[in-house]
Amino acid sequence: MTSDTNQTAVAYFASGCFWGTQYYFDKAPGVISTRAGFMGGHVDSPSYQQVKTGQTAHLELVEVVYDPTKTDYEALVRLFFETHNFTQTDGQGPDIGSQYLSAIFYSNNEELSIAKKYSDILTQKGFEVATALRKAETFWPAEDYHQHYYDKNGSTPYCHIYRKIF
Query: What is the C-alpha separation between 12 and 35, in angstroms, rounded?
Result: 10
Burial zone of 102 (CB within 10 Å; 0-12 exposed, 13-18 middle, 19+ buried) = buried
As a 3-state breakdown, the chain gives helix, strand, coil percent values, each rounded to 5, of 30, 25, 45
Catalytic site residue from 9, 11, 14, 17: 17
Q: Is 159 a catalytic residue?
A: no
Structural element, H or E, at residue 6: none
Query: What is the C-alpha separation between 73 and 139, in angstroms, rounded?
Result: 18
The residues annotated with a catalytic role in the active site are 17
